[in-house]
Amino acid sequence: MMNLQPSDPPSIGGYPLLSRLGAGGMGQVYLSRTPSGRLLALKTIREDLSSDPGFEERFAGEIRNSDRVRSPWTVTVVDYSPPGQRPQWLATEYVPAPSLDEWVTRHGPLPEAALLSLAAELCGALQAVHQADLTHRDVKPGNVLLARDRPRLIDFGIARAADDPRHTQVGGVLGSPGFLAPDQAVGGVPAEPADVFSLAAVLVYAATGHSPFAGPRENAHMAALVYRAVHEAPDLQGVPPALLSLLAAGLAKTPAERPTAAELGRQLERIGGRTGHWPDACPPSLATELTAHEHPTDTVVDPQSGPRPDPRLDPRVHPRRESEPHPQPHPSTAPGAPQDPAAGETRVNTVLATTATTATAATTSTPVTPERRERRRPAWLTVAVTAVAVVAVAAVSVASYAGIRGSRSADYSSDAPKPKPSPSAEATKPATPKPNPIPIRKTLRAPYDLGVGQSVRTTKTKLVMQRDGNLVITDKKDRPLWAARTFGTGNTARFQRDGNLVVHNSAGKPLWATQTSGNPGAVLVLQADGNVVIKSGDTVLWNAGTVH
Cβ neighbours of residue 218 closer than 8 Å, sequence gap 6 or more: 210
Regarding whether 224 and 135 lie in a shared domain, the answer is yes
Regarding whether 134 and 175 lie in a shared domain, the answer is yes
CA distance 525 to 463: 11
Which uninterrupted H or E stretch holds 101?
helix 100-107
Residue 144 has phi, psi (to 5 degrees) of -115, 115
Q: What is the pLDDT along the chain (548 residues), one digit of tens a residue?
A: 678 888 899 999 999 999 998 876 678 899 999 877 788 999 898 888 777 777 888 788 777 777 777 788 988 888 888 888 888 898 988 998 999 999 999 999 999 999 999 999 999 999 999 988 888 888 999 999 999 999 999 876 444 433 333 333 433 445 688 999 999 888 766 789 999 999 999 999 999 999 999 988 777 788 889 999 999 999 999 999 999 999 999 999 999 999 999 999 999 999 999 999 999 999 989 988 887 767 655 445 433 333 333 333 333 333 343 333 333 333 333 333 333 323 333 222 222 223 333 333 333 333 333 333 333 333 333 333 344 343 333 433 333 333 333 332 333 333 334 444 444 444 444 555 555 578 899 999 999 999 988 999 999 999 999 988 889 999 988 888 888 888 788 899 999 999 999 999 888 888 888 989 889 999 999 999 999 999 999 889 999 988 88
CB 192 within 8 A of CB 95: no
For 213-263, the DSSP string reads TS-TT----HHHHHHHHHHS----TTS-HHHHHHHHHHT-SSGGGSPPHHH
Range of the domain at 386: 351-371+381-416+437-548
Compute CA 245 distance to the chain's CA centroid, rounded to the nearest angstrom.
32
Regarding whether 59 and 102 lie in a shared domain, the answer is no
Residue 119, domain CATH: 1.10.510.10
The residue from 41, 58, 93 where one domain ends is: 93
CA distance 181 to 173: 11
Cβ neighbours of residue 393 closer than 8 Å, sequence gap 6 or more: 455, 462, 478
Which amino acid does the sequence have at 478? D
Regarding whether 86 and 130 lie in a shared domain, the answer is no
Question: How many folded domains does the chain comprise?
Answer: 3
- State the pTM of this model: 0.55
Regarding whether 171 and 36 lie in a shared domain, the answer is no
Helices (H), 403-516: 423-428
CA distance 227 to 117: 31
Within a domain: 215: yes
Q: Order the strands of the 15-23 sheet from edge to edge.
A: 11-12, 15-23, 28-33, 39-44, 89-93, 77-80
For 402-428, the DSSP string reads HT-SS-S-EEEE-SSPPPPPPHHHHHH
Within a domain: 367: yes
Regarding whether 108 and 87 lie in a shared domain, the answer is no
Hey, how many other C-beta atoms are within 10 angstroms of the C-beta on 110? Answer: 26
Hey, how many other C-beta atoms are within 10 angstroms of the C-beta on 113? Answer: 15
SS3 state of residue 287: helix
CA distance 540 to 279: 14
Sign of the four-CA dihedral 393, 501, 471, 298: positive
Hey, how many other C-beta atoms are within 10 angstroms of the C-beta on 371? Answer: 12
Regarding whether 394 and 263 lie in a shared domain, the answer is no
Regarding whether 389 and 512 lie in a shared domain, the answer is yes
Residue 13, domain CATH: 3.30.200.20
Compute CA 155 distance to the chain's CA centroid, rounded to the nearest angstrom.
13
Which uninterrupted H or E stretch holds 193?
helix 192-208
Within a domain: 484: yes
pLDDT (0 to 100) of residue 162:
37
For the stretch 55-59, contacts whose Cβ atoms lie closer than 8 Å and that sit 24 or more positions apart, written own/partner, are 56/83, 56/84, 56/88, 58/166, 58/168, 59/88
* Catalytically active residues, by annotation: 138
CA distance 457 to 389: 13
Regarding whether 393 and 257 lie in a shared domain, the answer is no
Pick from 119, 197, 106: nearest CA to 153:
119
Which amino acid does the sequence have at 410? A
Regarding whether 364 and 238 lie in a shared domain, the answer is no
Cis check: omega of the bond before 255, within 30 degrees of 0: no
pLDDT (0 to 100) of residue 74:
86
Within a domain: 306: no
* Residues facing 473 on adjacent strands: 463, 482
